[in-house]
């Protein structure tokens, strides 16, 4: 500190002797007389030591490098007193306005330092256009800037944000891996959240609000959005049915994986569970007058058992109902409409005759829904139980008999003379 004051005093003296030239706006060179020194430091009121070095090369290559230091540090003289914070909004009004309406900006305005200011994302003296691969905000670099805070346990706990696991999940997701591999078209944080107008998902204006998610994902997955919009789920969702699924209900948010990944919620083996999160819920079935027990009736079927045991060729919910364009069976365009069933089943059962698809598919095994199957099931349950009991009894008696015979044989052996 003392050295700093000495330097400042020296510079002040130099300035006084320089006469009227010192009154003009200070040049970059004048500021760098002191700030070009690699060892120049300052102790913050918090007690931290921070470097005050500014790299001229980096500054000259930045978008603002053509101007002098006072374009941003408007109150700086050479030498100077304590300076005011830089206001980027003086020249970037639009960015500053949208930033001010965001979750980050609102807290920053209250003086909270845990949220990012402009320079936390853009840098200070090396700012580049976002198109420049060396920019911090370049598409493939920005996630690292977000994750510096969003993978920080302390911040996550203090503000109740999604856990570190969820963020690591993003890095391992299909989008995260593709970005890491240099694929420019893949989704990074601001593609879904925006850059300056980041808002919580429960705000209707947020890009990640439920109502906006299909459009958000559809920006890049256009073909799928078109299909989805035709489905019963999209119609329900647009009509305000909160339980109707949007893309993230079936795929996840940050942890979206390739369909071919066996852990994906939409991998063939996991589809029944994913659909049944809703379709096996009593509430949903009765509220929307949907038939119940779609999961258990499927799991009891040949297909359900086969899929459960890893035979992914057997039919899962999506093989019969479709995926993004699911329609009720009453709709003539539905893959499970009576008229279309021979076709739908025929994809996998090409040799099946016209009667193959006639029987009901989701068989609820109750006396009122299907007495025949119920009776056969009861008969088999009793029959097999009786069979097992008789079998155990039979084996038990047989063993007792053998043991008894051996015991008697042994006793006779001991008593007889050699």
**Cα separation, 60 vs 126, whole angstroms:** 8
Does the footprint of ligand HEC cover residue 262 (CB under 6 A)? no
The pair of three-digit structure tokens given for residue 312, joined into one six-digit string? 């992914």
Element (H, E) at 50: strand 49-51
**Cα separation, 37 vs 51, whole angstroms:** 10
Does the footprint of ligand HEC cover residue 373 (CB under 6 A)? no
Residues 66-95 that bind ligand HEC (CB under 6 A): 69-73, 76, 78-80, 82-83, 85-86, 88-92, 95
**Cα separation, 50 vs 40, whole angstroms:** 9
Q: Which is nearer to ligand HEC, 343 or 404 (CB)?
A: 343
Does the footprint of ligand HEC cover residue 325 (CB under 6 A)? no
Q: How far apart are the first and last CA of the chain?
A: 114
**Cα separation, 70 vs 77, whole angstroms:** 8
Does the footprint of ligand HEC cover residue 200 (CB under 6 A)? yes
Q: Which is nearer to ligand HEC, 251 or 408 (CB)?
A: 251
Q: Which is nearer to ligand HEC, 352 or 388 (CB)?
A: 352
Does the footprint of ligand HEC cover residue 365 (CB under 6 A)? no
Residue among 126, 255, 317, 325 that touches ligand HEC (CB under 6 A)? 317
DSSP H helices in 219-281: 222-230, 232-238, 247-251, 271-279
Residues 6+ apart with CB under 8 A from 104: 115, 116, 198
Does the footprint of ligand HEC cover residue 275 (CB under 6 A)? yes
| Axis-axis angle for helices 142-150, 164-172 (nearest 10) | 160
DSSP H helices in 202-325: 213-218, 222-230, 232-238, 247-251, 271-279, 282-287, 294-299, 302-308, 317-321
The pair of three-digit structure tokens given for residue 8, joined into one six-digit string? 């400042």
Residues 384-413 that bind ligand HEC (CB under 6 A): none
Tell me how far, at minimum, the Cβ of 384 lies from ligand HEC, in Å. Answer: 20
Q: Which is nearer to ligand HEC, 315 or 398 (CB)?
A: 315
| Axis-axis angle for helices 2-18, 28-35 (nearest 10) | 150
Residue nearest to ligand HEC (CB): 201
Does the footprint of ligand HEC cover residue 255 (CB under 6 A)? no
Choose one: 288-296, 378-386, 389-397, 401-409; the region binding ligand HEC (CB under 6 A): 288-296
Choose one: 32-40, 375-383, 390-398, 400-408; the region binding ligand HEC (CB under 6 A): 32-40
Tell me how far, at minimum, the Cβ of 196 lies from ligand HEC, in Å. Answer: 5
Cis bond leading into 35, ω under 30°?
no
Residues 134-193 that bind ligand HEC (CB under 6 A): 137, 139, 142-143, 145-150, 155, 159, 161-162, 167, 170, 174-175, 178, 183, 185-193
* Number of residues engaging ligand HEC in binding (CB under 6 A): 165
Choose one: 212-220, 369-377, 382-390, 397-405; the region binding ligand HEC (CB under 6 A): 212-220
Closest CA to 252 of 339, 174, 179: 174
């Amino acid at each position: 500190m003392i050295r700093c004051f000495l330097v400042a005093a020296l510079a002040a003296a130099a300035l006084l002797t320089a006469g009227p030239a010192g009154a003009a706006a200070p040049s970059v060179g004048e500021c760098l007389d002191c700030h070009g020194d690699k060892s120049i430091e300052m102790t913050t009121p918090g007690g931290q030591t921070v470097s005050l070095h500014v790299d001229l090369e980096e500054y000259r290559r930045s978008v603002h490098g053509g101007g002098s230091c006072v374009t941003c540090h408007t109150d700086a003289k050479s030498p100077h007193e304590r300076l005011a914070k830089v206001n980027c909004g003086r020249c970037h009004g639009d960015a500053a306005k949208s930033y001010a309406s965001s979750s980050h900006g609102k807290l920053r305005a209250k003086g909270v330092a845990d949220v990012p200011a402009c320079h936390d994302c853009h840098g200070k003296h090396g700012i580049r256009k976002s198109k420049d691969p060396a920019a911090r905000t370049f598409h493939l670099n920005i996630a690292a800037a977000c994750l510096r805070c969003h993978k920080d346990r302390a911040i996550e706990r203090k503000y109740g944000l999604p856990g570190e696991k969820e963020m690591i999940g993003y890095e391992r997701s299909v989008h995260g891996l593709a970005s890491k591999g240099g694929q420019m078209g893949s989704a990074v944080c601001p593609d879904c959240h925006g850059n300056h107008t980041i808002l919580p998902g429960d705000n209707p204006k947020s890009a990640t609000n439920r109502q906006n998610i299909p459009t958000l994902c559809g920006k890049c997955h256009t073909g799928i959005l078109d299909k989805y919009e035709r489905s019963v789920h999209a119609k329900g969702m647009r009509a305000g049915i909160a339980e109707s699924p949007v893309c993230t209900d079936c795929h996840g948010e940050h942890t979206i994986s390739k369909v071919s990944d066996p852990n994906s919620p939409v991998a063939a083996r996991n589809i029944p569970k994913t659909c049944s999160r809703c379709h096996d819920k009593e509430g949903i079935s009765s509220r929307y007058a949907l038939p119940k027990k779609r999961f258990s009736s499927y799991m009891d079927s040949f297909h359900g058992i086969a899929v459960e045991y890893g035979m992914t060729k057997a039919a899962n919910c999506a093989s019969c109902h479709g995926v993004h364009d699911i329609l009720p069976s009453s709709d003539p365009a539905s893959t499970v409409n009576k008229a279309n069933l021979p076709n739908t089943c025929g994809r996998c059962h090409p040799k099946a005759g016209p009667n193959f698809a006639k029987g009901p598919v989701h068989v609820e095994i109750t006396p009122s829904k299907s007495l025949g199957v119920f009776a056969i099931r009861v008969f088999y349950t009793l029959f097999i139980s009786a069979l097992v009991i008789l079998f155990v009894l039979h084996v038990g008696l047989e063993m007792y008999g053998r043991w008894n015979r051996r015991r008697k044989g042994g006793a006779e052996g001991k008593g007889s003379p050699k």
